[in-house]
Amino acid sequence: MSAGAVCSGLFLLGMDLTVLNVAIPELQSALGSSAGQTQWIVDAYALVLGGLVLSAGGVTDRIGRRRAFLAGLVTCVFASVAGALAAVPWQLILARGAMGAGASLIMPATLSLLTTLFPERELRRRAIALWAAVGGVGGALGPVIGGWLVSHHSWRAVFWLNVPFTAAVIVLTLLVVPAPPPARTEPVDLPGTVLSATGLLALVWAIIEGPARGWTSTPVLAVSAVGAGLLASFGVWLRRAPAAMLPRHVLRRAVTVPAAALAMMSFAMFGALFVISLYLQGVLDCTPWEAGVRTLPLPGALIVGAGLAAPLTVRLTHRSVMVSGLLVTAGSFVLLSRTTAESGYPYLALVQIVAGLGAGLTAAAGTAAVMESVGEPYAGVGSAVNDASRQVGATLGVAVQGSVLATVYRDRISDALSHAGLGGLPSAARDGVVAAARAGRQATPAVRHQLLAAATDAFVAGLTRTAWVAAVVVVAGAVAVWRGLPRLPAVPASPRSERCAAQSSAP
């Protein structure tokens, strides 16, 4: 029951990350937001979450994990109400940012609470596998839930849904989740917290803005340099601080290698989910709701893969399971690279199943490797390292793969339209395959056929390129894990963990 309460908070977090995507057209019409404002309504959540999660993990260990979890949930409730009542775009942007701040407390608190509640190694691995599956399912179901709410109610229902759901998680947490004392008693590392938060915020901002402003534009390069400088200063501070937010043993290979591999896996998977959604809507002509439903094979397979990871790591090693999962995931991208306009949905469902199985194995085994390496007293900051790497990887994956797709698409479709004598079509047709499909509905049948054929060919060419980029990144992750991840020793449970486990099982 306690694991269910904790994982419910993680489901909420994953859902909030993606649920708003399908509500954008109605939201933009209702609030009259510009393209830039609309982008930040979506991205404010990911920006604040990615920037604050590392420092929030250090705070979690010091103030108490259940307390941090509840504080994040309460923050999300008030921010959701503010979002539902927003009348102008800037109010909604602030509300989404506040939701990201709450999520930055929830994410490390969930995983560190599970580590405390399940000190026995095999049970802990099963709980972590559940955690990995629930997080992925929440993100994948976000567009499905959001599409249904927008279709039957309005975009505001996306925010109102959070209120009763989060309130129920708060009550359940107070009833069934024990409150372990803070794992670390030293003062909060304020300089380290500020340096890590500002450095990551700058880095994530540059990643989000790169595709729109250009990766070599002055603002992106300047903010990237500032972020890199702040993170470098953070690294210097960690070596000198008497009570650093990230102790040295948290940054050894047993932690950093699986965390980096999880970032690479998130880079590939989130970028692929973005591209697959565009294929479903632009090539297969699905509505946003239909496209969301057709991505369900991926989270379903992810649950299976995560469930298989726990027993496999008992028989094998984290390294073997992670490498196997990454190679399976890479195979799914090889399959995706062979997608054509005639492939149809069954082939795409197969790609999702293979990708979900590999991602489930990798996420569960990699997260368990990180948490077992840091030890229970530093579970909050270990969870934050795991979460920050995955969040930055996911943001970078959508930005880079989206940028590659857009570049290839624009080059191909511009040439095709010029050769076909259709250069006078609205510029929106060059923005993407979905926009081209909409433009084609207003054209004559002959023009529509030529436009859709050109847009589909251009999109498939871009999809092929992004799939190979993702495959190369995932294979690099597999090589890094095989060469760099040591065999993990058993981590004994601390006496305080055993007492907390006894409290959680008491009637």
- Per DSSP, the three-state class of 135 is helix
Q: 35: which 2 tokens?
A: 């393209």
Closest C-alpha among 160, 143, 440, 175 to residue 293: 143
The one-character DSSP state at 450 is H
Residue 381 sits at the vertex; the CA angle it makes with 251 and 475, to the nearest 5 degrees, is 55
* Kind plus residue range of the DSSP H or E element containing 340: none
Catalogue the long-range contacts made by 481-486 (C-beta closer than 8 Å, 24 or more residues apart): 481/257, 481/258, 481/261, 481/319, 481/322, 481/323, 481/326, 482/319, 482/323, 484/253, 484/257, 485/253, 485/254, 485/257, 485/258, 485/261, 485/318, 485/319, 485/322, 485/369, 486/253, 486/254
CA distance 221 to 104: 26
Residues 6+ apart with CB under 8 A from 310: 122, 125, 126, 128, 129, 364, 368
pTM, to two decimals: 0.78
CA distance 97 to 80: 11
Per-residue pLDDT tens digits for 198-251: 888 888 788 877 777 777 888 889 998 998 898 888 888 877 777 766 776 667
Per-residue pLDDT tens digits for 96-153: 889 988 988 888 888 788 777 776 777 777 777 777 777 777 777 777 787 788 777 8
Q: Are 506 and 176 in contact (CB under 8 A)?
A: no
Give the residues of the chain that fall short of pLDDT 70.
Answer: 1, 21-22, 25, 35-36, 119, 181-186, 244-245, 248-250, 375-377, 416-448, 486-507
Q: 425: which 2 tokens?
A: 């079509």
CA distance 118 to 14: 23
pLDDT for res 404:
84
CA distance 322 to 482: 9
pLDDT for res 376:
67
Rounded to a whole number of angstroms, the CA Rg of the chain reads 22
CA distance 11 to 138: 5
Per-residue pLDDT tens digits for 424-441: 555 555 656 666 666 656
Q: Are 378 and 250 in contact (CB under 8 A)?
A: yes
Using a 10 angstrom Cβ sphere, with 0-12 exposed, 13-18 middle and 19 or more buried, the burial of residue 257 is buried
- Per DSSP, the three-state class of 161 is coil
pLDDT for res 435:
63
* Average pLDDT across the chain, whole number: 79
pLDDT for res 185:
66
Backbone angles phi, psi at 184, to 5 degrees: -130, 135
CA distance 81 to 162: 8
pLDDT for res 30:
79
